[in-house]
Structure 1
Amino acid sequence: MLKLYGSTTSPYVRRLRIWLANTDHKFINLLIFSEDDRQILAAKNPTMKIPMLEDEINGEEQVIYDSRVIYRYLTDKFDDPVLNWQQENQLTLIDSANDSLVQMFILSNSDIQADEDKLFFKLQKQRVNGVLVQLNEMVAKQQFASWNYPAICLYCLIDWIEFRNLHNMQGLTELLAFHDDNAQRIEVTATDPRK
């Protein structure tokens, strides 16, 4: 059986939980900053990051790292269509904003305040702002009209921003409407990190 390791609050984990909603699998919720769960991470995944997927291949346990690689693995395993280059670019934009927000979130939780004058924070905020404006325009052009993997990833990004209050979404009306339009999907409500 497939085992997905992660936390209920990670946008990277949530996208895979939503994608796997109709696939038999076990979700193992880790408290990634607790000592016991960090030992599980260290034993199975040298990157010490979530998500990770465990599967049995030819009688041997195989662990796959990184949400994007896990998605490609699942696509291959279940003979799903591969992403086209436009969709790959959409994912790159989404992951870029996600990565910057995760880094700033971790620093904030480490009592390091985002200083506008520091190069690191300036670059991260520029990236997030630019990417969200681009994604807003893409939604306006109906590029996320289908509920496919990139759309799921976009939803998870927006919802995580809202959940953690990470960015001012004022003016990003298309992204907010996209979020509202998909908020009541059963797989979305079942994976809501607020529960």
Structure 2
Amino acid sequence: MKLIIATPSPFARKIRVAIREKNISCEEVTENPWNASSTLQDLNPLGQIPILVSDKEEVIYDSRVIFEYLEQLGEQHHLLPSDPSDRIRARKTEAIADGICNAVVLIVLENHRPKNLQSKDWIDRQQQKIRNGLIALNEELDKKDWDVCENMTIGDIAVACTLSYIDLRMPDFQWRNNHSNLASFSMQMEKRDSFRDTKLRSQTINAVN
């Protein structure tokens, strides 16, 4: 099994962490989807990562779809609760975390446009999404070890990956000051072997015209 990743991607990191927590053997291949020479579209028509190639050569893309596939493999540690209500809560948490990441991506791309073409209103709108999402996640966590139930879920992994992505792409965005629950949570999650082994690292992004 092979997972194609980009080193700064929180969506790829979410799957990388899940694979390690579930003790699944998987090769990792690093690509840069922004390179003009990228051939990722041959595997995913959208040219986006992460992409998983199964042992049967089945190509699976989108982090949520890949995770669904991984959850079906054997009896490894499950990262979705068995209780239907808790499963929905975990997925809702993941959706907020992923939405924050998408807003960060849009800000990064906007900032790579020529200065005279950048929209402050657009950036402000994305920053408000980030602020709203962080408030919701901080309130949900409410000093608990895990967001949904007594064990770690994909929602917890997604939140921790999102927080590290904000640190990578928006280092001046001081989210810890007003979100103490998330700050403590992030610190504890980053101590896990699965997170230590998957630190986000920047890749060069070409300017968008």
Which bin holds the TM-score, normalised by the shorter protein?
0.7 to 0.9
Q: Does 1:179 align with 2:186?
A: yes
The answer to whether the 8 Å contact 1:100/1:128 transfers is: yes
- What amino acid sits opposite 1:53 in the alignment? L
How far does residue 125 in structure 1 lie from its aligned partner after superposition?
A: 2.0
- What amino acid sits opposite 2:123 in the alignment? F
Aligned partner of 1:131 in structure 2 is 133
How far does residue 193 in structure 1 lie from its aligned partner after superposition?
A: 2.1
The answer to whether the 8 Å contact 1:136/1:172 transfers is: yes
How far does residue 96 in structure 1 lie from its aligned partner after superposition?
A: 1.1
Aligned partner of 1:31 in structure 2 is 32
Count of residue correspondences: 187
Distance 1:72 1:115 in 2: 37
Aligned partner of 1:168 in structure 2 is 174
Distance 1:81 1:32 in 2: 28
- Give identity over the alignment, percent: 23
Aligned partner of 2:54 in structure 1 is 55
CA RMSD of aligned residues (A): 2.2
Identify the match of residue 63 of structure 2 among 59, 67, 71. Answer: 67
TM-score (norm 1): 0.86
The answer to whether the 8 Å contact 1:104/1:114 transfers is: no
Distance 1:99 1:46 in 2: 19
Q: Give a deviation string over 1:147-190, Cα, whole Å, max 9, x none.
A: 32211111110011112225331211111111112222111111
- What amino acid sits opposite 2:185 in the alignment? F
Distance 1:135 1:111 in 2: 34
Q: Give a deviation string over 1:16-48, Cα, whole Å, max 9, x none.
A: 111111211110100222233x12x02111011
Structure 1 unpaired stretches of 5+: none
Structure 2 unpaired stretches of 5+: 82-86, 203-209
Aligned partner of 1:188 in structure 2 is 195
- The structure in which a higher percent of residues are strand is 1
The answer to whether the 8 Å contact 2:4/2:28 transfers is: yes
Look up the SS of the partner of 2:178 in the other structure: coil
- What amino acid sits opposite 2:11 in the alignment? Y
TM-score (norm 2): 0.80
How far does residue 141 in structure 1 lie from its aligned partner after superposition?
A: 5.2
